[in-house]
Structure 1
Amino acid sequence: MNTKAEQSRGTSGADIGMLVLAVLVLAAGLVGYTYLGNIGASSPVRLITILAAVVVSLAIAAFTGPGRRARHFLSESQFELRKVVWPTRDETIKITGIVIAVVIVLSLLLGLIDLILKTVVFDWLLKLGS
């Protein structure tokens, strides 16, 4: 992460206009997808319509202030992800086995506690009240 503090930046009018345009393009793609389905167009044409609308709306949104900040965040996330030390296959298998064993032991323990409490409540306490 950067050590410098992020300053809160407002969204300008041009950014809002571009974001509205991106939403309108996406909505037009959805309307086109639905319209093409109603007139019996083939599935590939409908798929291309919606994909084109998504790509164009993302491209428009990417050049706004929030879009630039999102791209910057994603690039920093990728950089940080490269620093992660992933476990080996053997470590993963061993840890998975430990987790499964702990889950089984705890489920048996909770089942035993439930059985004891059920016996105490239903068999002893409710029979004493009768």
Structure 2
Amino acid sequence: MSSTQIETVTTGADKAKLAAAGLLVVGGVATFYLLGQQSLWLRVIALLVLIAAGVAVFFTSAQGKELVAFGQDALKELRKVVWPTRPEATQMTLYVFAFVVVMALFLWLTDKTLEWVLYSLILGWKQ
């Protein structure tokens, strides 16, 4: 049996920050609809400002800082990747296409063989 680690918010300040971020995002959506009589650009600006404020508050919390650190680590690992050259990528793509064609033919032949066995030999139906 494996033990799964569950991350929880530990400090009251982080809980408050996450709650505030959620309220800002929900408030942005509510404001967008409450300002239904106003022009569209004003509604969109209000929505974007409140969502940006919610995201900014989220990134000040411990979870937001962990997310930023994770993103930085992911970028470091991405820089370590050895990407294939264009000829290698083209060759592998052709291999994949060839495999798909071979599999399609195999499945078609299998289907037709089973159809012939079932309908012509076993059931005696002529098509």
TM-score (norm 1): 0.82
Q: What is the alpha-carbon distance in structure 1 between the residues aligned to residue 87 and residue 32 of structure 2?
A: 48
One-letter code aligned to 1:21: A
2:91 is equivalent to residue 94 of structure 1: yes
| 1:71 Cα deviation from its structure 2 partner | 1.0
Superposed, 1:1-130 pairs within 5 Å as 10-11=8-9, 12-36=11-35, 38-42=36-40, 44-127=41-124
1:66-117 residue CA offsets vs partner (Å, 9 max, x unmatched): 1111111111111111101111222212211111111011011111101111
Tell me the percent identity: 32
Shift of 1:55: 1.4
Alignment-mate amino acid for residue 39 of structure 1: Q
- Structure 1 stretches lacking a partner, 5+ long: 1-6
For residue 80 of structure 2, give the secondary structure of its aligned residue in structure 1.
Answer: coil
Aligned residues: 120
Residues 10 and 40 of structure 1, relative CA distance in 2, 3 Å threshold: closer
Displacement of 1:27 after TM fit?
0.5
In 2, Cα distance between equivalents of 1:90 and 1:73: 33
Give the CA deviation at 1:52: 1.6
Unpaired runs of 5+ residues, structure 2, are none
Q: CA RMSD in A?
A: 2.0
Using the size of structure 2 for normalisation, the TM-score is 0.84
